[in-house]
């Protein structure tokens, strides 16, 4: 496994992979990179929901102590464990009261979109860091290959995890952020019908989708294809000769 490994391979069960390899140095590095990236990505994702809801007029997140950048306020133990075991997961949901919003539909969409938008921003920062690191490592004398590998590995894991969280949360089913985003673009009546359908069947559809991801390889490949393509484009952009 190297710093240009396809995106779907980063979502292999990380703890299981580490155990199977006898906690090889590379497996441990990936695991630690995921832990660090996980803390940053989920903390800022959930904090973005909370702060956006607060700015839109809902005091509920503030009352519940969610206007915070403390990871302990946002990490869900089971959701974090799922990311390590299965490659996907979730943070502690931010509870909002949409009737406090100044514009219910618009502000609900903004609050929901804030989390994935934050992950996209973090991925962009990671891409910039990747290219800056490649340049610095290319011109710096006597750089340890192990250090270079570890640094680029950490950055790619960070980018890939944020893209995964963004795209997964934008799926318009179950309790995911994509539901409220899609509703905003629909006419009022159709949005209400979609909400009712999703409230009844969305959770089940999400469970079925996750099961298919890991039981039917083609489904997982289809879902992770956008992540892999984005990573390929963002991280494999040409670097001028002599810099790497």
Question: Mind listing the pLDDT tens digit for each residue in 62-110?
Answer: 999 999 999 989 988 887 777 666 666 678 889 999 999 999 999 999 9
Task: Report how far residue 207's alpha carbon sits from residue 190's, in angstroms, rounded to the nearest whole number.
Answer: 24
pLDDT of residue 47: 96
Task: Report how far residue 134's alpha carbon sits from residue 152's, in angstroms, rounded to the nearest whole number.
Answer: 8
pLDDT of residue 242: 37
pLDDT of residue 2: 45
Q: Tokens 């946002």: give the residue.
A: 74
226: tokens are: 């956008």
pLDDT of residue 240: 37
- The residue among 63, 66, 60, 145 whose CA lies nearest residue 107 is 60
Q: Compute CA distances 238 → 135, 201, 234, 235, 241, whole Å.
A: 11, 45, 10, 9, 9
Listed in sequence order, the residues at least 6 apart from 198 whose beta carbon sits closer than 8 Å to its beta carbon are 172, 173, 174, 179
- The residue among 132, 224, 168 whose CA lies nearest residue 42 is 168
Catalytic positions, written as ranges: 46
Per the CB < 8 A criterion, the answer to whether 44 and 52 are in contact is no
pLDDT of residue 6: 46
Task: Report how far residue 112's alpha carbon sits from residue 170's, in angstroms, rounded to the nearest whole number.
Answer: 9
Which positions of the chain have pLDDT values less than 70? 1-24, 83-89, 236-244
Q: Is 67 helix (H, G, I), strand (E, B) or coil?
A: coil
- The residue among 17, 10, 18 whose CA lies nearest residue 41 is 10
Chain centroid, CA 161 distance in Å = 5
């Amino acid at each position: 496994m190297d710093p240009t490994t396809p995106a779907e391979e980063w979502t292999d069960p990380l703890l299981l992979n580490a155990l199977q390899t006898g906690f090889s140095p590379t497996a441990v590095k990936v695991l630690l990179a995921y832990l660090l990236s996980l803390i940053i990505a989920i903390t800022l994702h959930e904090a973005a929901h909370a702060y956006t809801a607060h700015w839109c007029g809902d005091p509920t997140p503030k009352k519940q102590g969610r206007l915070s950048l403390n990871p302990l306020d946002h990490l869900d133990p089971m959701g974090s464990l799922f990311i390590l075991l299965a490659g996907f997961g979730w943070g502690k949901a931010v509870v909002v009261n949409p009737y406090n919003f100044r514009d219910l539909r618009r502000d609900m969409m903004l609050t929901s979109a804030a989390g994935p938008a934050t992950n996209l921003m973090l991925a962009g920062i990671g891409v910039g860091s990747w290219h800056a690191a490649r340049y610095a490592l290319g011109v710096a004398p006597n750089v340890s290959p192990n250090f270079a590998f570890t640094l680029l590995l950490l950055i790619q894991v960070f980018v890939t995890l944020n893209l995964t969280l963004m795209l997964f949360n934008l799926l318009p089913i179950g309790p995911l952020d994509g539901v409220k985003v899609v509703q905003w673009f629909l006419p009022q009546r159709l949005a209400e019908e979609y909400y009712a359908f999703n409230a009844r069947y969305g959770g089940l559809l999400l469970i079925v989708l996750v099961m298919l991801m890991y039981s039917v390889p083609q489904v997982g490949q289809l879902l992770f294809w956008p992540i892999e393509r984005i990573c390929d484009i963002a991280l494999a952009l040409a670097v001028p000769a002599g810099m790497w």
